Amino acid sequence: MTTAQKNNLKFVDFCAGIGAGRLGLQNLGLNCVGFSEIDKYAERTYREFFGEEEKNHGDLMKINPDDLPDFDLMIAGFPCQSFSVIGQRKGMNDHRGQIIYGLIKIMNAKNLPYFILENVKGLVNHEGGKTLKIILEELDKAGYKVYHRVLNSLDYGVPQMRERIYFVGIRKDLVNGNNFEWPKSVFPPDVQDYLVDNGEMEFNEKKRAYETFLKYLDNKYNKGLFKIEKLLKDNYLVLDTRQSDLRLYRNKVPTLRTGRHGVLYVRNGKFRRLSGFESLLLQGFPKNMGEKTKGKIADVYLLSQAGNAMTVSTIEAVGKSLLNYTNHYE
């Protein structure tokens, strides 16, 4: 995507994972000036994508904000941890174990103008909605006008069903008369363009797990409902074996997860396992970046890392909406 900027906005990539949020913002012309990630395997993949230059600031709960460079925007896919001391809050010091409070500490210390945060959809109803209420209250007290909405990656440029809650924050003194508008959905692309790995991912009777798959098709939820021969005739049919009942999808892939990688698909009359490379594509990484991992990052790690990542194209769409609001995009 070609963009023009009125200002060279800088951002830091917190809870960075493998850098999907970073890539989404870089696609808009923003400049990453650092990142924070504690998982050494995710960091290895991150550096395959972005190089060795930036400093990893490590555990954000231990970061001294004075050690961070100046920046304009925070991007973070923060974990949803249990807010178990509701009603007993006595300020930030009571919650140093909660990632959101670590992020707010950095926002306040750096007088940060903007942020984009992402979390699982389950946060909406976590502890009966109390967790979300607390997060919004704390961000409001920190001085931010906050917009939040559940978005599906399927509507923003990839054929993956992935609902996540997004928060966009604007420091209150920067709020203007514009209306913040969430990005409009686009028609999903063809899944065939994403299921393209030609590696050794064929899944058949030569694989030890194939017998388990046949038993799975014969369990009480699936027995008599599916015939192998018929399934194999449906080119690019996607099969999700991660639940007790088999679920089938056409022209889309179910939500990628950190664990339980039981997604198969049909190509040219054969079952294939979804690969790590394909998982990266389904999260919006371009093929040339995915190629950097081949022969370097084991598939089991890539599948987990992609399952834990943000979706590049969704962050790009949300970021563009924020820049439109702030008049930093034209």
- 327 by Cβ neighbours in 10 Å (0-12 / 13-18 / 19+) ranks as exposed
Q: Which two tokens stand for residue 264?
A: 């198969």
Q: Is 80 a catalytic residue?
A: yes
β-sheet bridge partners, residue 249: 238
- Residues 7 and 114: their CA atoms lie apart, in Å, by 14
- Output DSSP code: residue 268: T
Classified as helix, coil or strand, 145 is strand
Rg, Å, the chain Cα set: 21
Element (H, E) at 115: strand 114-120
Annotated catalytic residue: which of 33, 38, 61, 80?
80
User: Is the Cβ–Cβ distance between 197 and 172 less than 8 Å?
Assistant: no
Sheet bearing 237-240, strands edge to edge: 247-250, 237-240, 263-267, 270-273
Residues classed as catalytic: 80
